[in-house]
Structure formats: structure tokens, C-alpha cells
């Protein structure tokens, strides 16, 4: 018996990991805060928009983190930065995704799902069809970042 599936083919899609700038709510355990998160030219910047840290920025490039608050700046080399630091966590996740593309992508009802692993543990990144981000969760570390529009 020969079965022909003429006209049937797998639907293809092109997930894209690109630079972005979005607002977010970072949750870890019982603590949460809002911030703006951006990825541009392989540098992640997280700027707090709530709590006593409002206005503090962490700029992480994979080698060091620059902490900025008011007129103060302090730079720390990468091996001294905890993996739970949100700028490092986001940077490491996107680096892992870039290294594993496209094998770690799947289609969801409203976009794409990416699974990966960093030193912080396993993570899942959800992206909308317009390529904006929905969330990233680091299950092992109990860190969840829910993206919104910038400044929301």
C-alpha cells in the first residue's frame, strides 16, 4: 500500500532573537519589582523603575557589569557577578539561545517558545508573533520576568 500525502507539508516559521527594549516585572520568591530591560549590540541593560532602587541601572556585556545610580558608577568583573543578577541572567539566556538556534525553538498559539540552560539552570523564553517578548522563567532559580511595553 502506497500512501501519498500530496499537498501536506510541515509549516515553517522563522523565530527571531533580536535586540529589544521592553518594560518588565521581575519576580523572585515573594519579592518583585518593575524595570526596563534592553538588549542592544550584545549588551543587556536593566533599569529599576520601582522600589528604593528606582533609577539604578545594571549594564552587562558578558565580561563585566557596570552599576549606575545617580552620579555613581561601579564596575565588577563577570566572575564576581551572581548568576541571579537580572542583567546577567537575561544576557546568559540570550547567549544560550543564539548558540542553540534553531534546535531549541517551537511554535506556540501566540508566538514562539525557546528552552535553554545556563549556569542558573533551565529557562523558558516566550516570544509573541510580533517578536516582542512575553516572559522568561528560570525554573530552578525561581526567577520570572514578565515583559510589558517599555515603561508600563
2-13 pLDDT, tens digit per residue, is 555 555 554 555
Q: β-strands 20-28, 43-48: how paired?
A: unpaired
86-111 pLDDT, tens digit per residue, is 999 999 999 998 887 656 788 999 99
DSSP percent split of the chain into helix, strand, coil, nearest 5: 15, 50, 40
Cβ of 75: how many Cβ atoms within 10 Å?
10
Distance CA 112, CA 135 (A): 11
23-81 pLDDT, tens digit per residue, is 999 999 999 999 999 999 999 999 999 999 999 999 999 999 999 999 999 999 988 99
Distance CA 105, CA 15 (A): 7
Which residues have CB under 8 Å from 14's CB, separation 6+? none
Distance CA 142, CA 81 (A): 18
R_g of the chain, CA atoms, integer Å: 18
Cβ of 48: how many Cβ atoms within 10 Å?
19
| pLDDT at residue number 149 | 73
Distance CA 103, CA 99 (A): 10
The model's pTM: 0.87
Amino acid at each position: 500500500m502506497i500512501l501519498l500525502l500530496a499537498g501536506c507539508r510541515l509549516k515553517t516559521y522563522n523565530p527571531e532573537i533580536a535586540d529589544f527594549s521592553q518594560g518588565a516585572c521581575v519576580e523572585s520568591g515573594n519579592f518583585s519589582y518593575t524595570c526596563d530591560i534592553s538588549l542592544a549590540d550584545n549588551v543587556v541593560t536593566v533599569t529599576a523603575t520601582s522600589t528604593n532602587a528606582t533609577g539604578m541601572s545594571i549594564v552587562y556585556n558578558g565580561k563585566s557589569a557596570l552599576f549606575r545610580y545617580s552620579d555613581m558608577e561601579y564596575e565588577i568583573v563577570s566572575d564576581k557577578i551572581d548568576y541571579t543578577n537580572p542583567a546577567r541572567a537575561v544576557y546568559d539566556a540570550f547567549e544560550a539561545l543564539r548558540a542553540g538556534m534553531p534546535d531549541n525553538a517551537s511554535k506556540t498559539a501566540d508566538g514562539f517558545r525557546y528552552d535553554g540552560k545556563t549556569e542558573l539552570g533551565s529557562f523558558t523564553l516566550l516570544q509573541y508573533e510580533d517578536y516582542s517578548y512575553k516572559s522568561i522563567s528560570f525554573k530552578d532559580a525561581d526567577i520570572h520576568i514578565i515583559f510589558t511595553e517599555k515603561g508600563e
